[in-house]
Structure 1
Amino acid sequence: MIKLKFLLLLLLPALWSCTTSRQAAASEEEEVYLFSYFKGNGDGLHLAYSNDGYNWQALKNDSIFLRPTAGKDKLMRDPCIIRGGDGKFHMVWTVSWNERGIGYASSTDLLNWSEQQYVPVMEHEPGARNTWAPEITYDDKTGEYLIYWATTITGLYPETQSSEESAYNHRMYYVTTKDFKTYSDTRLLYEPGFNVIDATIVKDNNRFVMFLKDETREPPLKNLKVAFADNLTGPYSAAGPPITGNYWAEGPTTLKLGNTWTVYFDKYRDKAMGAVQSEDLQNWTDISEKISFPKGMRHGSIFKVTKSEFEKLQ
């Protein structure tokens, strides 16, 4: 008995080391970054992957994972996917250039999707001209999902009205939901004093960070900026200075690697993707030359999956 106890004492450190090594390997696992995107005018859901956030490769030879059926025009532009509090993947997208609703579907594996829904978030507003680039952010404190998008309502905000680009003059609006079956009334999310689209919101410790596009046409700005809020629904601060350079940018999405924020976006006039980086959300460096993406890719969103989930996608 004494010898057995002695042997166990000798073996315990090795067993502990082996167990903790396995736990560390599991916790490090093996997360893979995925990028949801579209091509052309909105052909459907494409996925690219990366292990380092710099080099992105298309999955399944850049084939379509989900073809759009929601809405009259049946487009799928700006696909935004998040993993919700229920563990499912939830996606919203732009279904049309001019309809007053957005698309929604969910999945447990990114391969098999629920029936696509048309969510009529602006149908109540006769002056609404569009619902563009919807996104979702999950609030783990309330268990609610914030769905937000850009809409032009004819006659509103004449001080920033331009006759260029079909006289669009957007502001950000939102609804909340806990189950994607019932939704709150539509409310104004952000009125920064300029034409704004393509907002995306992420949590940063105890605050929320909104990356957005200044869509001002006269004079043309077409750059990305940052705003902050203590609560997901705001109020958000005034937008800061541009974080992108001398090109037209849209469709931001972000990934935080260690202490470094990377914001990816669409240099749509140049038919290329771009990126900027920062450690303090104030000073930004353009790293567009250091990243690579599938040819013809348009903007979407970044999210994470486990290695086992990723292997099923291949």
Structure 2
Amino acid sequence: MGLTRRQFTLSTLATTAFTMTGLGLSQGPALAATNTAYLMTYFTESPNQSAANYGLHLAVSRDGLNWSPLNQNNPVVTPTAGQLGLRDPYIYRKQDGTFVVVATDLKGLNFGLTSQYLHVWDSVDLSSFTGYRRIQMHTYGSSVHTWAPTVFWDASRGQYGIVYSANTTTDLFLVNYTSDFRTVGPPQTYFSPGFPILDADIRVSGGVTYMYYKNLANGNIYGARSNTGAPNSFTTYTSGLRQGTAIEGSHLVPRNDGGGWWLWGDSFGPINNDMYMWTTNNVGANSWSVLNQRDYTPPINSKHGSVVGITEAEYNAAVNRWGLPNWVRLKSSNLPDYYVRHSNNAVRIDPYPFDPHQDQLWRMVPGLADSAAVSFESVNRPGYFIRHSGYVAQLGVNDGSATFRADATFYRTAGLADSAWTSLRSYNFPDRYLRHAGQVLRIDPLSSSSSANDRQDATFRLTS
């Protein structure tokens, strides 16, 4: 339409029919537009907590699978009240087409600290987050937490439900209803199935309310559903789901193209800093399939994310305001949880996460020996580049010599194992490609007739 969200008055927003292509969600009146991308909110942690940050982080994705952090993976806003930090931020598109973010009032890993409040922000087009406030969800004692909120529109009530994890008589879900995310009704028990539960996520589709949650008794994620979305009306309909050693933070995402649904799960704790995914063509069936980690790349160090479909105008507003990363990561094709990093001047692949996490960040610059090629400069050791010496890759300081420039220059080619990915051919040994062998990177002679394993070893995704 050529207009940004700012150019519409609130009265226009309130009266314009809104269609979210492929979602089948009950969204109500809002701006008529098609979602072409996705936005994720999250906080960050890493194994030794050097990357821990409990402000609101954003990332964008065109395909819903591979993500680019905004603002160089720094927070766009940070709470200024309560415990001065957030966890579990949840972004939701309201009936008027604008956004609200609700988040747990908790900073760090001291889960013994509890709060009766949630953090809240508003956003019109994702270029700013304003109206910061906290809303009190209950008046239970200081031992009762208010964790991991999710939001849904209850059409029968004409109100939003805010569902969150609490521990009153047991670990269960409470709900408060609101019209404005400023005042809320009294808490009600929303779901208490007879065993302890955590981390609800709720979507309404085709007149059915779907809720995914963690069963604390066995550590698995399950899906439940209700024809009304009313408190205490849900029936569990899926088998237990789990990837990794421990999982929580389930998040249900309808695809913009209408081709199905994704389910995200978050590994527990900063040491296990992975996000996992499943996919299905039918959210109402017990038919989730595990997605290979090769097929998706969460934002670096991200924890307990939430995802919303966004329009082209909203994508551009967010990117123009906050900026895309000025670095890349190199993800292994055949070991997709491994990334290229430097360690003691060696260049190798290691499983993510690790600290310092900056060891895997590279500035991809015009090739030192040929500007049509590329070179990779370390972000946390400026002036040091990936180069080969004796065919083995290492991190070396640019001494300005012709030999160094040649050793540090690579041509990007279609991936030898997957043309949608990338292989890196040596500038001065044009029959050799950068590949991993025993986790160490080196350059070896390779071609399309090389073994499948060798071609996989030389194939990477350049991602952020």
- Per-residue deviation at 1:29? 5.0
- Per-residue deviation at 1:52? 1.3
Aligned to 2:152: 137
1:228 aligns with 2:225: yes
Cα distance between partner residues in 2 of 1:246 and 1:299: 15
Deviations 1:250-309 (A, max 9, x none): 111122232422101212353111001122330221114121112211112110221112
Aligned to 1:86: 96
Aligned to 1:101: 117
Aligned to 1:163: none
- Per-residue deviation at 1:140? 4.2
More strand by proportion, 1 or 2?
A: 2
Deviations 1:222-265 (A, max 9, x none): 22100000122341114632122453111111222324221012
Aligned to 1:20: none
1:268 aligns with 2:268: yes
- Per-residue deviation at 1:141? 4.9
Aligned to 1:243: 241
- Per-residue deviation at 1:42? 5.1
State which structure, 1 or 2, has the greater radius of gyration over its C-alpha atoms.
2
Matched-pair contact (CA < 8 Å) for 2:161–2:175: yes
- Per-residue deviation at 1:312? 1.6
Deviations 1:49-75 (A, max 9, x none): 11112211112221211111231x111
Aligned to 2:28: none
Cα distance between partner residues in 1 of 2:183 and 2:65: 38
Q: TM-score, normalised by structure 1?
A: 0.79
- Per-residue deviation at 1:129? 2.1
Cα distance between partner residues in 2 of 1:262 and 1:30: 16
Matched residue of 2:301: which SS?
A: coil
Matched residue of 2:174: which SS?
A: strand
Aligned to 1:284: 288
Aligned to 1:160: none
Q: TM-score, normalised by structure 2?
A: 0.55
- Per-residue deviation at 1:104? 1.3
1:113 aligns with 2:123: no
Matched-pair contact (CA < 8 Å) for 1:107–1:114: yes
1:125 to 125, 128, 140: 140
**Alignment-mate amino acid for residue 72 of structure 2:** N
Superposition pairs for residues 44-55 of structure 1, below 5 Å? 44-55=55-66
1:200 aligns with 2:201: yes
Cα distance between partner residues in 2 of 1:198 and 1:236: 15
Matched-pair contact (CA < 8 Å) for 1:243–1:276: no
2:304 to 299, 302, 305: 299
**Alignment-mate amino acid for residue 287 of structure 2:** N
Identity of aligned residues (%): 25
Aligned length: 269
**Alignment-mate amino acid for residue 83 of structure 1:** R
**Alignment-mate amino acid for residue 286 of structure 1:** V
**Alignment-mate amino acid for residue 245 of structure 2:** Y
Matched-pair contact (CA < 8 Å) for 2:225–2:235: yes
2:87 to 72, 77, 80: 77
Q: Which runs of 5+ in 2 are unaligned?
A: 1-20, 22-31, 46-51, 320-464
**Alignment-mate amino acid for residue 307 of structure 2:** I
**Alignment-mate amino acid for residue 264 of structure 1:** W
Superposition pairs for residues 144-163 of structure 1, below 5 Å? 144-153=159-168, 156-157=169-170
Higher RCO, Cα 8 Å, sep 6+: 1
Cα distance between partner residues in 2 of 1:191 and 1:30: 35
Matched residue of 1:298: which SS?
A: strand
Cα distance between partner residues in 2 of 1:69 and 1:301: 22
Residues 279/244 of structure 1: CA separation in 2 closer, same or farther (3 Å cut): farther
Cα distance between partner residues in 2 of 1:125 and 1:191: 17
Deviations 1:183-235 (A, max 9, x none): 1111000001111111011012011100111122xxxx222100000122341
Aligned to 1:16: none
**Alignment-mate amino acid for residue 200 of structure 1:** D
Aligned to 2:211: 210
Matched-pair contact (CA < 8 Å) for 2:202–2:252: no
Cα distance between partner residues in 2 of 1:130 and 1:181: 20
Matched residue of 1:44: which SS?
A: strand
Aligned to 2:388: none
Matched residue of 1:104: which SS?
A: strand
Aligned to 1:162: none
Matched residue of 2:304: which SS?
A: coil
More helix by proportion, 1 or 2?
A: 1
Matched-pair contact (CA < 8 Å) for 2:33–2:311: no
**Alignment-mate amino acid for residue 78 of structure 1:** D
Cα distance between partner residues in 1 of 2:35 and 2:97: 17
Cα distance between partner residues in 1 of 2:237 and 2:195: 10
Residues 239/214 of structure 1: CA separation in 2 closer, same or farther (3 Å cut): farther
Matched-pair contact (CA < 8 Å) for 2:222–2:236: no
- Per-residue deviation at 1:103? 1.2
C-alpha RMSD of matched pairs (Å): 2.1
